[in-house]
């Protein structure tokens, strides 16, 4: 049997809420920077394998301490969270890591920022949350910003050289959106237990694929290990725990507001730490996408963001 404890808690307020928000913004924003560095020292598959494996251990231990236990193997939640783990972690983590072998971390963060708009579109077809004129206008504006990001600096109709890598990261955003919609249909499960199931299933699937395709790595330099551990402990581990606490205590609306800021942090970190460029094309695309997300979101339409 699964031990269940109450998910409810007093709302975070004042310094505690600001601390949680600042933590999530910095951790999620710099995750793209760490991925950019990590793929220089190991394959994208091994980076994803290590971060999910260590992250799963951290979240599982925390869930165990909080009194939760995994359901029996035959429980349907294992099937649900295996799929959610693949679509919500394994696939987008890999697509982002693979894309960032050739594109900047800031661009990757901007593309993943399209996720709320893709969620709105998928929700129209697979849930009862239908498109309104406000949502449709926001989606169209955000889509326009995404198109700009695929055009060269001179805004010609040719695609940029790294369009395949950018398309892969956009695919990661689509995976996150599909997971958000799919999670609404999953069997009712306490949030922390669901996160542990999801992360563990993601780790099992991606480690298996990595061993079958890449084999064991011959050597990983210390910087590669540092980035993998940082991603596992930060955005995959502690950030998941904190954002679940924010959702449970303050609701998804608060988290949706927080989710506007990580792309800004990622762009700034990329410029400051990795000497990435910030061209007028990127600035216009970034502003257009964020405007689309702002218009599309309202109190009746809030999507829970996924960690990068």
Per residue in 83-92, pLDDT (tens digit) is 999 999 999 9
Q: What is the pLDDT of residue 33?
A: 95
Q: Is residue 51 part of a domain?
A: yes
Helix axes 163-183, 115-126, angle to 10 degrees: 50
Residue 8 has a pLDDT of 45
Say what the pLDDT of residue 242 is.
85
Which segments of 100-238 does DSSP mark as H helices, in order?
105-112, 115-126, 133-149, 163-183, 191-213, 222-231
Decide: helix, strand or coil at residue 9: coil
pLDDT at position 207, please? 96
Question: Is 211 a member of any domain?
Answer: yes
pTM of the model: 0.87
- The predicted structure's pLDDT at residue 301: 46
The residue segments making up the domain with residue 107 are 43-67+88-296
- The pLDDT value recorded for residue 42 is 95
Q: What is the pLDDT of residues 100-152, one digit of tens each?
A: 999 999 999 999 989 888 988 898 888 888 888 999 999 999 999 999 999 88
Residue 71 CB burial class (10 angstroms; 0-12, 13-18, ≥19): middle
Q: Which residues contact 86 (CB under 8 A, 6 or more apart)?
A: 201, 202, 205
What pLDDT does 116 receive? Answer: 87
Phi, psi of 199 (to 5 degrees): -70, -40
Q: What is the pLDDT of residue 158?
A: 73
**267: closest CA among 31, 35, 133, 106?**
106
Among 25, 159, 160, 105, which residue's Cα sits nearest to residue 278?
105
Please check whether residue 130 lies inside any domain of the structure. Answer: yes
Number of domains in the chain: 1
**Residue 94 pLDDT:** 96
Handedness of CA 148, 292, 172, 258 (dihedral sign): positive
Q: Nearest 5°: phi and psi at 301?
A: -140, 90
Low-confidence ranges of the chain (pLDDT < 50): 1-8, 301-305
């Amino acid at each position: 049997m699964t031990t269940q404890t109450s998910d409810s808690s007093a709302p975070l307020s004042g310094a505690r809420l600001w601390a949680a928000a600042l933590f999530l913004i910095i951790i999620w924003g710099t995750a793209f920077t760490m991925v950019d560095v990590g793929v220089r020292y190991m394959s994208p598959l091994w980076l994803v394998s290590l971060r999910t494996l260590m992250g799963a251990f951290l979240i599982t231990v925390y869930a165990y301490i909080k009194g939760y236990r995994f359901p029996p193997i035959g429980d349907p939640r294992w099937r649900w969270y295996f799929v959610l783990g693949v679509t919500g972690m394994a696939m987008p983590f890999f697509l982002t890591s693979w894309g960032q072998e050739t594109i900047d971390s800031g661009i990757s963060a901007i593309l993943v920022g399209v996720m709320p708009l893709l969620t709105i579109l998928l929700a129209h077809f697979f849930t009862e949350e239908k498109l309104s004129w406000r949502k449709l206008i926001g989606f169209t504006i955000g889509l326009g910003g995404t198109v700009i990001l695929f055009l060269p600096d001179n805004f010609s109709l040719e695609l940029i050289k790294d369009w395949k890598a950018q398309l892969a990261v956009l695919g990661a955003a689509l995976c996150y959106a599909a997971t958000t919609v799919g999670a609404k249909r999953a069997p009712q499960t306490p949030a922390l237990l669901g996160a542990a199931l999801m992360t563990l299933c993601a780790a099992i699937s991606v480690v298996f694929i990595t061993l079958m395709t890449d084999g064991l790595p011959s050597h990983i330099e210390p910087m590669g290990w540092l980035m993998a551990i940082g991603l596992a402990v930060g955005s995959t581990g502690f950030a998941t725990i904190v954002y679940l606490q924010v959702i449970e205590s303050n609701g998804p609306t608060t988290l949706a507001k927080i989710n506007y800021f990580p792309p800004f942090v990622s762009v700034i970190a990329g410029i400051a730490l990795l000497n990435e460029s910030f061209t007028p094309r990127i600035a216009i695309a970034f502003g257009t996408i964020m405007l689309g997300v702002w218009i599309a979101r309202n109190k009746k339409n809030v999507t829970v963001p996924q960690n990068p």
